Amino acid sequence: MQGEHSDLVDEDFDYVRAGARLLGRDIAKVLSDQAIAEVLLILEEQTADGDRYPLVEDMSRGATGEQFQENLILLKNLIQGMLDVAEEEQ
């Protein structure tokens, strides 16, 4: 028998990254569809491939280059968690 959110557990399991995805799922469950769309738009703009990532830069202020990349990954996991719920409801 598989437990809730067992899809997040694999050989590369990372508690912090899985936590970000779970947070995204929780956020999507309490927001309206319109609010989800608006939050996703902002987060996707902030994490899209490009020259600058203002939100990630603010999150990483004073941190190493590795922390910058990890913060970007965390935001992308948050987005994926929100999308998981949207896909589940379709």
Query: What are the residue boundaries of the structural domains of the chain, listed by start?
Result: 13-89
As a whole number of angstroms, the distance between CA 62 and CA 4 comes to: 37
Q: Convert the pLDDT of each residue in 51-63 to its tens digit.
A: 889 999 999 998 8
Rounded CA-CA distance 47/69 in Å is 11
pTM equals: 0.84
pLDDT of res. 13: 81
Please state, rounded to an integer, the average pLDDT across all residues of the chain.
89
Contact predicate 86/28, CB 8 Å: yes
Pairwise CA distance, residues 28 & 32, whole Å: 8
Q: Which residue has the higher pLDDT, 27 or 6?
A: 27
Reduce the DSSP state of residue 64 to 3 states and report it.
coil
